[in-house]
Amino acid sequence: MAWLSTLVSKALEKVAVTTPAQLRATGILSMNCRNLNYISRYNPRRLLPLVDDKLTTKRMAEKAGVEVPKLIAVIEYQSDIRNLKSVLDPLQQFVIKPAKGSGGKGILVITGRDGDRFIKASGDSLSFEAISRDVSNILGGLYSLGGKTDVAVIESLIQADPIFNDYSFEGVPDIRVIVFRGFPVMAMMRLATRASDGKANLHQGAVGVGLDIATGHSLRSVQRGQPVQQHPDTGHDFSALKVPHWHKILSLSAACYEMTDLGYLGVDLVLDKNLGPLILELNARPGLAIQIANGQGIEPRLKTVEALSRHDLPIAERVAFSQQHFGVLANAAPQDSGGHKNTTTFRSS
């Protein structure tokens, strides 16, 4: 329980909270509570492979008509590596990732070429041999859940919306939305830094920015659990950050409930400058650091959704409910996709 005390003190900047009762009072969701009351209860084990395997998720999303980054190739066996050079030779930019990886491990982001060298988002360069070794490690299960053999997915590099150029170092920022029973309940943006090697991964040093569910406006920003005001590499202040296409982002996230039938889900999206919001991947065991970025616990929002008399609402109504009930600006009625104030009301049981 020690890590929870740290989580609460960093997230809410209060005095130390040590007892279970005090932790519950803050609304902070613990790992045990998440696993027992939400993941085990709302995510049937038979459905977990749908999101644990990124290749399966991508194909499922494509079938459902949900926009995802373009799939270039799949390397399934060690013998397939002999064909890797012919796959990569025509490419200037690409991403290689383990299909069953977690926590951003094993993901290789190539942003350009310099002769025979491949340039990473951080500016470092790699030889083809180094990339081949990385792919071999992926296939061997070095980065997969449980160390099981894996496949390497090669997909197009997202062309990040330039609106975030000042907020992210080299890499493509992403947005994590927690969706509970089809309702988006909490969101944050993850912004790459030099320390994170151009990856939007909090464990590797990316910045997490809490986002207002009603508007997509920044609330609070943290790096390695500590509050920060400016990006450590660009020096840009996070207070003016606001995510465009916010209503579509919430709608896409909510739609993943129908796509997977998973009740507790982390939806990761990116903003492409040409294609708009894209689903990057799904996570049936989303982490709890989103509470730190938002400066508040997620459990009261989960309980609000649980208390509803109906959950089989259309996506638009679920999104409107979340914006009305979980937005920070309580006095500002959220707008629908047409720009009109939404005054729909909902009833709890």
The answer to whether 262 touches 47, Cβ cutoff 8 Å, is yes
Give residue 347's pLDDT. 37
The answer to whether 279 touches 252, Cβ cutoff 8 Å, is yes
Which one is predicted more confidently, 15 or 230? 230
Give residue 156's pLDDT. 92
Instruction: Decide if pLDDT at 25 tops 60.
Output: yes
Buried b (16+ CB within 10 A) or exposed e, 112-136: eeeeeebbbbbeebbeeeebbebbe
Give residue 165's pLDDT. 83
Burial of 251 (0-12, 13-18, 19+ CB in 10 A): middle
The answer to whether 288 touches 213, Cβ cutoff 8 Å, is no
Residues 6+ apart with CB under 8 A from 270: 69, 158, 160, 172, 173, 174, 175, 277, 278, 280
In this structure, what is the dihedral angle of CA atoms 71, 72, 78, 83, given to the nearest 10 degrees?
A: 170
- From the CA atom positions of the chain, what is the Rg in Å? 20
Across the range 246-259, mean pLDDT stands at 95
SS3 call for 20: helix
Give residue 330's pLDDT. 44
Report d(CA 130, CA 177) in Å as an integer: 34
Across the range 5-12, mean pLDDT stands at 45
pTM above 0.85, yes or no: no
Give residue 264's pLDDT. 98
Across the range 317-336, mean pLDDT stands at 75
Q: Which CATH class is domain 2-49+162-326?
A: alpha beta
Across the range 34-49, mean pLDDT stands at 95
Residues 6+ apart with CB under 8 A from 250: 177, 184, 213, 319, 322, 323
Report d(CA 17, CA 30) in Å as an integer: 13
- Reading the block at residue 207, the tokens are 């910045």
- Reading the block at residue 179, the tokens are 């969706």
Report the CATH number of the 70-155 domain: 3.30.1490
User: Smallest Cα–Cα separation from 138: which of 129, 128, 127, 149?
Assistant: 149
Domain-wise residue ranges, the chain? 2-49+162-326, 70-155
What phi, psi does 221 have (nearest 5°)? -135, 140
Report d(CA 77, CA 84) in Å as an integer: 11
Report d(CA 105, CA 52) in Å as an integer: 14
Across the range 142-155, mean pLDDT stands at 91
Which of these ranges, 58-72, 238-252, 297-311, 318-332, has the smallest mean pLDDT? 318-332
Residues 6+ apart with CB under 8 A from 69: 58, 95, 155, 156, 157, 158, 270, 272, 278, 280
Which of these ranges, 7-21, 172-186, 309-323, has the smallest mean pLDDT? 7-21
Instruction: Decide if pLDDT at 10 tops 60.
Output: no
Give residue 19's pLDDT. 63
Give residue 160's pLDDT. 83
- Reading the block at residue 65, the tokens are 């008509």
pLDDT in tens, 294-307: 999 999 999 999 99
Report the half-sphere exposure of 100 (CA within 13 A, side-chain side): 18
Instruction: Decide if pLDDT at 74 tops 80.
Output: yes
Give residue 24's pLDDT. 67
Residue 12: band (very low, low, confident or very high) from pLDDT cuts 50, 70, 90: very low
SS3 call for 265: strand
SS3 call for 248: helix
pLDDT > 70 fraction of the chain, expressed in percent and rounded: 87
Is 70-155 the same fold as 2-49+162-326?
no
Across the chain, mean pLDDT equals 86
